[in-house]
Chains A and B, each alone.
Chain A
Amino acid sequence: MFFLQQGPAQTTNYMIAGYTVIFGVILFYVLSLFLRNRNLKRDLETLQELDNKTNV
């Protein structure tokens, strides 16, 4: 691929694409953890209310 070239190949766009994937996916995963945590806390609150009502 790099035969007869002078100086480093112009591959900056691929580097940008690579780091966009890395930070994008990590950010997406962290966001998914946050959202799942928030939803589970809401579920827990609702279920605890239901549980208290049934105990009364």
Chain B
Amino acid sequence: METKPRLLTILDGVTIILLAVATTLVFFFTPIEAVMGNVQKVFYFHVANAWVGMLGFMASAIAGVAYLRTGKRSWDIVGMASVEISVVFLLIAIVTGSIWARPVWNTWWTWDPRLTTAAIMELIYAAYLLLRQGIEDPDRRARFGAVYAILGFISVPLTFLSIRIFRTIHPVVIGNADPSAQGSFDMSPAMLRTFMFSLLVFSFIFADLLWHRIRLGHLADKVEQLKLKVTQ
């Protein structure tokens, strides 16, 4: 097993510091929203988590295309790593959205276009992880993963645009909200700064975790190959 690269150790440290700064900004430097109160503060990391979710699914589709073009197993590992991280972060976004919705919409869940498309997107990629487990041949598994990631990516723009295309109660952060949206608010400069910084911080978290997960994937690959060699 290769030793941990120095750059990865630095990235770990920078990411932890950035997360601490973002958390401090959220709790101590952003104003309390006049109507919703403290629950509005969930918004900063809720959107950032959803951002990581979509970023990872996009990365897996790109890795899928790269695998189909080159046939290199490394791209399959990148795709798998991206999906796994994004499934975790999108799950956080869905759960925190539900927690926010309870006092604001007076319900934990409603079949709104954004919530529905996000839930479908999560299930599509959770199925990707489950279905991969059932394929033993590494090459077939990689091909399946690549094609699935490319097709599954259709759900990402659909989810992103759902609140801009359909009638919805979900607030729109960037752009004009539907008149029926509930829980919208105007961001003050401090709120906007914290929001943009949170997006940056979670991009760092994604990059850091992706690197670790790719290393883990290579290690798993090595173990799998050695297992085959020993059992033959």
A interface vs B, CB < 8 Å?
1-2, 5, 7-12, 14-15, 17-19, 21-22, 25-26, 29-30, 33, 36-37, 40-41, 43-44, 47-48, 50-51, 54
Q: Do A40 and B216 touch across chains, with their CB atoms under 8 A apart?
A: yes
Q: Do A33 and B209 touch across chains, with their CB atoms under 8 A apart?
A: yes
Q: Do B92 and A22 touch across chains, with their CB atoms under 8 A apart?
A: yes
Contacts A11-B39, A37-B219, A43-B223; is A21 near B96 (CB within 8 Å)? yes
**B177 part of interface (Cβ distance < 8 Å):** no
Which one of B42-50, B113-121, B136-144 is at the A interface? B42-50
Q: List 10 A-B contacts (CB under 8 A).
A: A8-B38, A14-B38, A18-B41, A21-B95, A22-B96, A25-B95, A26-B92, A33-B209, A37-B215, A40-B223
Q: Do B42 and A50 touch across chains, with their CB atoms under 8 A apart?
A: no
Point out the residues of chain A lying under 8 angstroms from B223, CB to CB. 40, 43-44, 47
The 5 A-B residue pairs whose C-beta atoms are closest, nearest first, are A11-B39, A8-B37, A18-B42, A15-B38, A11-B37
Point out the residues of chain A lying under 8 angstroms from B227, CB to CB. 43, 47
Contacts A8-B33, A51-B230, A54-B230; is A40 near B96 (CB within 8 Å)? no
Q: Do B38 and A11 touch across chains, with their CB atoms under 8 A apart?
A: yes
Contacts A33-B209, A47-B223; is A21 near B38 (CB within 8 Å)? no
Q: Do B230 and A47 touch across chains, with their CB atoms under 8 A apart?
A: yes
Q: Do A51 and B99 touch across chains, with their CB atoms under 8 A apart?
A: no
Contacts A18-B96, A37-B219, A40-B223; is A12 near B230 (CB within 8 Å)? no
